[in-house]
A and B are shown apart, each in its own frame.
Chain A
């Protein structure tokens, strides 16, 4: 379990790097390596999902969300602070880390 906890810390740092590089011009050559790192995490059983832009209905419980603005209807995820991480265990995915997100109403 300690190894899994450490992997999770690495995944969170990886996510930060990915986020920063996406805004950096000239960093396109790093995309390949980022994709490879993701593949290696997949090999270990981790699924990393960044739910940016996805809907956030009342039934969605894979994130911890804060709601910006006044309305609470028809929410969409506008910022991702930590990604959703699942760990595949014998085919059944385990929700290892809830995504930490900011949401806002579409209307």
Chain B
């Protein structure tokens, strides 16, 4: 079957395909719209078709052409100034049809096509349309009248099968067409038609400007000749006119759904001052200014009815087609004035193309395509361009050898933001490719022969802008900030700049204060920036900058939970500037750290030594439990080093000028690194095991009890698995595990089977200090299960949990950083 249908419109064209009972409307790969403006432009040796060409339509009439459908079948042609050639309406229509072929993303190349034509087209005009189809490379072209196409789209949406008459009312952007269609003996036919070639939605927009906005402006200031100054291309307000056009269109669209729409814009008043204009337009006001236009269409309907001696009640319905029929008053007034049922069963903008596709789906192809054209092997292309760039555009060159007669090329960017248009290919291509900043810019080069067949295609052209590349030195280590780890009563590292990032670097973090700092207190916030492995503990990394903001520096108390913004900037020479902004007090502190000056704060050093002492002690205990006695022994040796270091640190004054604090800092770092090395692998291993156990359990639970959203979240998390497991960071693995648990826990709690086993776990425990309360809850729990009262069971589980004693732990007294 032919399957493909095109609505070749005066203003816009649409391409559709029929497949297995459904119609798909193709989208333009550049811009993703369903409609292609029927506009062709010839500028600077490029052929532009569609939206880009339309931008120039008004201003470059010698080289850009639209509405050529009106001239089909006539002797009229277009002189194109820039290429010094004549183009006929058929030529231009063929170009639009060729461009529509690009919308197909499946790789199919249709040889046969159905193209729609207005009911008013005579034989000559219709043949001209066929000719355009052949010129576009289609071997077989079937024509279909637009009202029939719309009716087919309608009929395929309903179950009406009996003989009927109806009207097709097509109000587009620039034209109005009315057709009277009947079905008789199973055949559909247009029996009458009428129209107005200069009436459409654009006129509605213009009425908003001329009859609402201009009068409003004339009321607020004494403009000399506002209308002229807006519309004339040299006029003072010409730029504003285009702004108003866009705004008026938006107002019109808004009023289709709402009763008021607001409009705002700036205008320079006659006295030189700038005024911001803002007012509401109601639907009633809008309807008032377009009333005569809509009534004109209704009069045309009456004319057709009279001519055919028909009463409204003899019509099945009136089908609305064309974007402008979305305007509510169009539908209301037709129903009111004509008393005919208004049908909005079909999408007005794509109905004709859809109908053409339905028709195409019933027609067998008669055409057999000829032998394949010139193959790729006749052409060899060498490309040259920078794969990495810091600029906004990059030079691209391509040279060809082989058969290069009558070829055209086109370069497009994958996101649709760049398009060279079709250009003559003379063995060498030179273009400036526009780049998106900080992105992988993917480009596609296509080369076409004279029949518009694709003979070469390369979509591997990729230019990375801004991200990688040798800007300066790469960072040899991670740069991290130290934050509170309240859960473990210690601190941990958060990544700021990753190892191998290119300098210079800048980032801003927002952190919240984890404890209240009073202005009069001796308490402080410490911002510690460290260089080293993010997975290691803070003490083993090199502190490259410390800022301590004390209470007495604050203008107001810094309340727990309030935000602080920390902006970190590292230059190519590794100078670090830290700007700390306290939102509560609106205070900013800036500190600059240079690599030559090392920073050791003796109080912090003491804290770190104490913290390390506690950590090493814990690890010794753990190693003994695992019977890893050698590890335990080596760790014990570190305790001695720490004890000596602590004793010495207590004798150093805060402003000591000797090197002693740096030596102690080194000692501390050494101990931390040793401990880290001895224990890190163990931690990572156990984190990995925990992750796999959790992940596998989660997979089972999701299959049987998870919903789609949970499954999607889980599979998104799994995408990170490979990268995180191969990295060196235990916290990252633990975090992934926690995130999986967060997805699964609600499932456990809502699934009766799991809920019951959770309850049984709590019920089996003996450790409840308040045994009688626990017993009573267990009774209730058993009864809830018997009554299948899971809401109650959830409550009981929570109660039992809170009854359990808190674990007691030996804690060192650590001040922490104050940020989390």
B186 at the interface (CB under 8 A from A): no
Does chain A have a CB within 8 A of B572? no
B189 within 8 A of A: no
Residues of A close to B243: CB separation below 8 A: 66, 79, 81, 102
- Complex CA gap A102/B238 in Å reads 11
A104 to B60, CA, bound (A): 13
> Does A59 belong to the interface (CB within 8 Å)?
yes
Scoring A58, A62, A93 by chain B CB atoms within 10 A of each residue's CB, the highest score goes to: A58
Q: Which residue of A lies closest to B508 (CB)?
A: A39
Q: Please indicate the chain A residues that have their CB under 8 angstroms from the CB of B442 in the complex.
A: 92
Q: Does B370 contact A (CB under 8 A)?
A: no
Residues A91 and B58 in contact, CB atoms below 8 Å apart: no
Q: B242 to A66, Cβ gap below 8 A?
A: yes
Q: Size band of the B side of the interface?
A: 35 or more
Residues of A within 8 A of B32 (CB): 95
A-B contact count (CB 8 A): 104
Contact with B along A11-48 (1 / 0, CB 8 A): 00000000000000000000010011001000000010
For B433, the closest partner residue in chain A by CB is: A59
Which A residues lie within 8 Å of B565 (CB)? 32, 36
Among B418, B442, B581, which residue has the most Cβ atoms of chain A within 10 A?
A: B418
The answer to whether A60 and B56 touch (CB under 8 A), given A81-B246, A98-B31, is no
B436 and A86 form a contact (CB under 8 A): yes
Residues of B within 8 A of A104 (CB): 239
Contact present for A36 and B59 (CB under 8 Å): no
CA distance A68 to B232 in the complex (A): 10
Interface flags for B553-586 (1: CB within 8 Å of A; 0: not) read 0000000000001000000000000000100000
**B472 is an interface residue with CB less than 8 A from chain A:** no
Residue of B nearest to A29 (CB): B586
If A67-B55, A67-B59 touch, does A102 touch B242 (CB 8 Å cutoff)?
Answer: yes
Nearest-neighbor residue (CB-CB) of B441 within chain A: A93
How far is A94 from B32 in the complex, measured between Cα atoms in Å? 10
A35 to B507: give the CA distance in the assembly, Å: 12
CB of A62 within 8 A of CB of B414, answer no
A71 to B58 CA separation, bound complex (whole angstroms):
11
Q: Measured between alpha carbons, how far is A57 from B442 in the docked complex, in Å?
A: 19
Q: Is B52 an interface residue (CB 8 A)?
A: yes
Q: For residue A100, which residues in chain B have a CB less than 8 angstroms away from its CB? A: 246
Contacts of A49 in B (CB 8 A): 437
Of A61, A70, A86, A93, the contact of B31 (CB 8 Å cutoff): A61
A57 to B59, CA, bound (A): 15
B550 within 8 A of A: no
Q: Does B510 sit within 8 A of A, measured CB to CB?
A: yes
Q: How far is the CA of A58 from the CA of B52 in the complex (A)?
A: 8
Chain A CB within 8 A of B245 CB: yes
- The answer to the question of A65 belonging to the interface, with a C-beta cut-off of 8 Å to chain B, is yes
Give 1 or 0 for each of B413-449: 1 = CB within 8 Å of chain A CB: 0111111110000000001101011111010000000
Within 8 A of A (CB), among B117-132: none
Q: Which residue of A lies closest to B52 (CB)?
A: A61
Contact between B239 and A59 (Cβ–Cβ < 8 Å)?
no
Cβ of B814 to closest chain A Cβ, rounded Å: 31
Q: Which of A39, A57, A62, A69 has the most CB of B within 10 A?
A: A62
List the A side residues contacting B46 at CB < 8 Å.
58-59
If the complex has contacts A70-B59, A72-B56, A79-B243, are A61 and B238 also in contact, measured as CB distance less than 8 A?
Answer: no
Report the Cα distance A93→B419, complex, angstroms.
Answer: 16
Contact flag A61-B419 (CB < 8 Å), given A39-B508, A100-B246, A102-B243: yes
Chain A nearest CB from B430 CB (Å) reads 12
Cα–Cα distance between A54 and B439 once the two chains are bound (Å): 19
Known pairs A32-B581, A95-B31; A70 contacts B234 (CB<8 A): yes
Q: How far is the CB of B614 from chain A (nearest CB, A)?
A: 36
Q: Is there an interface contact between A72 and B59, defined as CB atoms closer than 8 Å? A: yes
B43 A70 Cβ-Cβ under 8 A = no
Within 36-83 of B, Cβ neighbours of A (below 8 Å) are at 43-44, 46, 48, 51-52, 55-56, 58-60
Q: In the bound complex, do residue A78 and residue B414 qualify as a contact, i.e. CB atoms below 8 Å apart?
A: no
Distance in angstroms between the alpha carbons of A36 and B567 in the assembled complex: 11
**Contact B233 A95, beta carbon cutoff 8 Å:** no
CB of B475 closer than 8 Å to a CB of A: no
Interfacial chain A residues near B421, Cβ < 8 Å: 58-59
Identity of the chain A residue whose Cβ is nearest the Cβ of B43 in the assembled complex: A58
Tell me whether B30 is interfacial, beta carbon within 8 Å.
yes
For the complex formed, measure the closest distance between the CB of B236 and the CB atoms of chain A, giving whole angstroms: 11
Question: A76 on the interface (CB 8 Å rule)?
Answer: no
A56 to B584, CA, bound (A): 44
User: Please, which residues of chain B bring their CB within 8 A of the CB of A47?
Assistant: 436, 438-439
**CB-based contact A60/B434 at 8 Å:** yes
Select which of B43, B51, B233, B439 is within 8 A of A61 by beta carbon: B51
**Which of B55, B246, B510 has most A Cβ within 10 Å?**
B55
Q: How far is the CA of A81 from the CA of B243 in the complex (A)?
A: 8
Select B239's contact among A36, A78, A93, A95, beta carbons within 8 Å: A78
Bound state CA distance, A24 and B415, in angstroms? 35
Can you name 16 extra interface pairs (CB under 8 A) apart from A58-B43, A58-B46, A64-B55? A32-B565, A36-B510, A58-B421, A59-B420, A66-B243, A66-B245, A68-B238, A68-B242, A69-B239, A72-B59, A79-B239, A79-B243, A86-B439, A92-B442, A95-B32, A104-B239
A sample of 24 inter-chain contacts (CB < 8 A) reads A32-B581, A58-B48, A59-B419, A59-B431, A59-B434, A60-B434, A61-B416, A61-B418, A62-B416, A65-B55, A67-B56, A68-B242, A69-B234, A69-B238, A70-B234, A72-B56, A72-B59, A72-B60, A81-B243, A91-B440, A94-B415, A95-B415, A102-B239, A104-B239
* Chain A residues close to B by CB (< 8 Å): 32, 35-36, 39, 47, 49, 57-62, 64-72, 78-79, 81, 84, 86, 88, 91-95, 98, 100, 102, 104
